[in-house]
A and B are shown apart, each in its own frame.
Chain A
């Protein structure tokens, strides 16, 4: 099958949508922008599914191992014979899987937004931005070159910035978009340095060659990068840690997660697409893409594990105390991405050891469905209630039956209850961690209980609890809102049954699915306990949650204030950096740099005002100067110039 005939259309169609809607949308298709954007994406999604079908079932496999196929590659900027920036399109199990996830979730969000964003003033701009985001994300996952991934990485950041700040007349949205952009930019700086070290030492920027050189312990590049050290740590560890910092920034891992909860200021479908299903998993994708290199350097892999586990637990604790539903979902996203990260961190390569890798990407796959479903359902709730706060909700199951059911399905999935998608992927992660690191397993298990608790806290508070009077009775929504919810709910129910290990594994070979009933008993019981606890506390209105939070006192307050991480950042920036660096720099700028410039200008001005009297406008004095000059020259040339 010749992929090159149509493969480029997949990223280029959303780009075309962006250009058409961005340039002409406002004036020509303000009403029809949604349909146009959705159609572009529909074609892209169909092509991705077709590609996935071809790749996984027809010609991806050679001798039982999935190959990476490069149907298109173009040298964009060549620095030397070895180092060049290419624009390419790579097909391998993870990129094909991501193609499907990105286009599919994006399509669902496009359809959902037809209803959700209807009547917005900047309707066409919204769809243009969605197109730009989809294009950048697709470009990111198909990158053949580490610099290509970096460029799309930044484009993704920009489109995220634009979409978070979509309601630009809201100061909190503007602040949130700036925060997201600045925090991820800092992480991206580390990423860039990591890329430069890797590129310099491996003498290539191409993923395939890079991985091949840096995993071959005989190669001169590998010896070079491991023997060179900086502060006693080998350059390879530095490079990979820096790359991971970039990934952690995008994926909202500790301590760079502070932008994600604020990013919920954007329209809710955007949160579903960008801040739940696709963009935030870019960090996981990056680590997975470079996994063979990470694997050879256990030190950096330990960092990945540690950060992942810490983020998972930390975010889950915060999520239990938040009262804004989108923030709870944001922290839950962070927690789930933590799962994916540490699952990669504990993984090995080849056969059973590679279970963590497969499990991580499996969780990425299933998480995309149920988390975007959760966000879209939350969007529907917010649209009805006109508030993000839990205290304004309650007893909604009567008003919105469809949303109620799909939300329940998604909550069961994220809690890891059989037979929903989350169960399978989470079991694999837990199994992988059980086999490699018992401490990680214990934390993951505890987090999984917490996850079930806070998700059902949300569920019961929204749909059960005490009845609230609703002022607006405009119904639940039309078909363009219900269809994506149903489709995603069906995916959430069925995605787990895909034997993912057959398609995606660390070494490209098949990996049998792991599913032990006995092993599953413990996690499922823990999750059920979490659900039960949430049910006791939140199903009926009662004073117990308040009493518990009061008795926890300081602990509750700390978690409610997100462990004061934002305050720490503010302290460091406002008190330390601004005072110690910013103000002296401003002083130097104002007094020394500006002083030199003003001094030069002042001297010029005073000299000119001193001598401007010569320019008197009197013809005769000019003539006098002229003759005086001639006489002076005559004296010089006749008498002095020998």
Chain B
């Protein structure tokens, strides 16, 4: 069992992406939405790692990108949680449906 076909892995990453997408659009809780975004980012990470491994096994560019994305995702989570806390202070809720003042 030395080789897993690339299509399997791409299937996993695509599934992960669309699960994340689905969660982003259907959840009303902002924390859950944040988690869905993490799923999307991780599906991208998998893609990077896989393509790096299969196309350029001698290089590390894809891996580096993955690490960057993990770092950025951490920062993003911090910012997002700050936003969520502020939202909670204003609305006593973290339901995105409640926060719709910025409309026509």
Contact = CB atoms under 8 A, between A and B. Distances in A.
B96 A620 contact: yes
Contact of B103 (A617, A623, A627): A617
A612 B99 contact: no
Nearest to A614: B104
B101 interface: yes
B101 A617 contact: yes
Contact of B102 (A613, A617, A624, A627): A617
Contacts of B96: 618-620
A546 interface: no
6 A-B pairs with the lowest CB-CB distances in the bound complex, closest first: A617-B103, A617-B100, A612-B104, A615-B104, A617-B102, A619-B96
Contacts of B24: 620, 623
A618 B100 contact: yes
Given A617-B100, A620-B24, 10 more contacts: A615-B103, A615-B104, A616-B100, A616-B103, A617-B101, A617-B102, A617-B103, A620-B33, A623-B24, A627-B21
Nearest to A619: B96
B99 A619 contact: yes
23 contacts: A612-B104, A615-B103, A615-B104, A616-B100, A616-B103, A617-B99, A617-B100, A617-B101, A617-B102, A617-B103, A618-B96, A618-B97, A618-B100, A618-B103, A619-B99, A620-B24, A620-B25, A620-B33, A620-B96, A623-B24, A623-B25, A624-B25, A627-B21
A538 B95 CA distance: 103
A408 B33 CA distance: 107
Nearest to B101: A617
A641 B81 CA distance: 41
Contacts, number: 25
Interface in A598-618: 612-613, 615-618
Interface in B1-51: 21, 24-25, 33
B14 to A, nearest CB: 14
Interface residues of B, number: 12
A433 B25 CA distance: 105
Interface residues of A, number: 11
Nearest to B37: A623
Contacts of B33: 620
A627 B17 CA distance: 13
A233 to B, nearest CB: 68
A617 B102 CA distance: 5
A620 B33 CA distance: 10
A620 B24 CA distance: 7
Contacts of B25: 620, 623-624
Contacts of B21: 627
A511 B9 CA distance: 122
Nearest to B28: A620
Interface in A252-268: none
B101 to A, nearest CB: 6
A325 to B, nearest CB: 72
A582 B24 CA distance: 66
Interface in A568-619: 612-613, 615-619
A615 B25 CA distance: 17
Interface in B74-104: 96-97, 99-104
A616 B102 CA distance: 8
B53 to A, nearest CB: 25
A619 B28 CA distance: 10
Contacts of A620: 24-25, 33, 96
A608 to B, nearest CB: 9
A26 B101 CA distance: 57
Nearest to B30: A619
A624 to B, nearest CB: 6
Nearest to B97: A618
Nearest to B21: A627
Contacts of A613: 104
Interface in A614-642: 615-620, 623-624, 627
Nearest to B27: A620
A586 to B, nearest CB: 38
A622 to B, nearest CB: 10
B75 to A, nearest CB: 20
Nearest to A615: B104
Contacts of A619: 96, 99
B25 to A, nearest CB: 6
A623 B34 CA distance: 13
